[in-house]
Amino acid sequence: MSKVEKEIVLMVDSVDPKATIQRVSKLNSLRGYSLRAPASFQFHDIYFETASGSLRRKRLNLRIRKGKDGWLITMKRSPGLLQWRRNERAELELVWSHESLDRILAELSAKGITLSAHQHLDMTNPVETMKSIGLFILQDRETERNTKSVSLTPEGGADLAELASDCVTYHFQRCDVRLYELEVEAKGSGSDKVLSDIRIGLLNTFGSELVPWNWGKLVTGKMIETLLKAGTLDDLFTNDLLTKRGIEEVEKALRNGSPKAILRQ
């Protein structure tokens, strides 16, 4: 169903990002808010684009996601550069099925993007199904997520936000690249003030280990891919982990470019 997302992102920019994330996971409170009820998730996201780049031109993201309960198909309005109040993205997320795909295609058609899906698609393979209707893979990534609910009291009450610690692995043709980031997303009656308070609390607690990040995972991954092809990130990741210097190179490149130009590559 349609909903609106409001969230902020902080990239982990430390010499030992896993240790930073572990310290975040031990927090029970922050700036007067209670952090409770930890939970863990794993999901696999695959983004698609048309051969002509029509989704980008319409500022749309089209994704399928595999989680513990199966596949979902999602269409979002791309936020572009992520500013404060930035990421208020209309979202349509549905359980993967022929009916869901038809609904997404109808939404795209209403926006001037026409894709055709015949009635005898093999829906058991979502990736191949998406390819068969004229799409190609724009990005393939997996995320390990640990979350904590943000509320006013330890005893419970309404969740105002969710603090997520993400380990993100991008799958590129040349190699895999892994990094860590934090997301804070408003929930229920959660306001901009809650997001701002948690953001300030995290930055005050972890200092230079965290960097405010104005780009979503899709744009960040596309820039990493561009820098890999250019050789800029050679020797700037250990095994598959992007180093502190690597994160700083990506941030510098993103500041010098625009999301639209990056996604066009």
The residue ranges of every structural domain in the chain are: 2-264
Interval 217-263: pLDDT, tens: 999 999 999 999 999 999 999 999 999 999 999 999 999 985 555 55
Phi/psi at 206 (nearest 5 deg)? -110, -5
Q: How confident is the model at residue 83 (pLDDT cuts 50, 70, 90)?
A: very low
Q: What is the mean pLDDT of residues 192-207?
A: 95
What's the token pair of residue 16? 């030992």
Chain center to CA of 248: 19
Phi/psi at 113 (nearest 5 deg)? -115, 110
Superfamily name and number for 2-264: Hypothetical Protein Pfu-838710-001 (2.40.320.10)
Report the share of the chain in percent with pLDDT over 70: 89
Angle at 77 between CA 264 and CA 12, to 5 degrees: 75
pLDDT of residue 117: 74
Q: What is the mean pLDDT of residues 78-103?
A: 73
Instruction: Name which residue leads in pLDDT, 87 or 33.
Output: 33
The sign of the torsion formed by the CA atoms of 10, 13, 17, 20 equals: negative
Non-local CB neighbours of 219 within 8 Å, separated by 6+ positions: 254, 259, 262, 263
pLDDT of residue 116: 79
pTM for the full model? 0.90
pLDDT of residue 4: 64
Please tell me the distance from the alpha carbon of residue 111 to that of residue 114, in angstroms, as a whole number.
9
Looking at the DSSP assignment, which residues form a beta bridge with residue 174? Answer: none
Interval 165-190: pLDDT, tens: 999 999 999 899 999 999 999 987 77
Q: Where are the beta strands (DSSP E) in 31-160?
A: 33-50, 60-67, 70-77, 89-95, 135-151
